[in-house]
Structure 1
Amino acid sequence: MTAGIQIRNPTTGVLMVDITTRLKKILGSVTIQAGVSGSLNDARLASGQAVIAFQPAKIWGWLVGNVARPNFYVSGTTISWSYSAMSGDNGEFVGGTMFYGVY
């Protein structure tokens, strides 16, 4: 039995969305300290294309863009993150939680 989702037009019955071969799957989360680079290795990342979402620990500076955000990189089964150097436009580094998974 195939798992997934199919959405059809209720009037015509025409298939609009068909996601039956791959679904997103969250594998874990990591707390990232503000301004601290790092990496993690998870063998399960080899089972699909990596997906990363970042939830900042604070919203205020994030909304006005007055923060230095982490940059994420994926290589094989390793996800790395680092911060750019502080500039006049960025008031502070922001930490938060990275959620990662595969698609």
Structure 2
Amino acid sequence: MILLIGITLLAVVLGCILPLRSGVIGYLGGAILLFVAQAGVNTAMGFEGVPISESLLLFNESYLAYVGFNLQITYRAFAVPLLALSVPLIFRMSKATP
């Protein structure tokens, strides 16, 4: 829960400072950056707070399965940070349009 709140706050800040001239490419870059950061933290924390060495036992010592599982968890939890990135950016773009 703390991770989700932290990534959401980072998304709001990123939505407020992202240059408007970068447009869609900047938005996609920001979304990818947030997704990779959240997936990396999920992967580094281990499964349910257990160390990674013990987490790999649940996935038959397969790093690929472990990383894939964490990517799936991140994908499911990414709606809130994506919305938090979009709202300030769209608001700023609507104010900049004449």
Higher strand share: 1
Higher helix share: 2
Return the TM-score normalized by structure 2: 0.32
- More relative contact order, 1 or 2 (CA 8 Å, 6+ apart): 2
The structure with the largest alpha-carbon Rg is 1
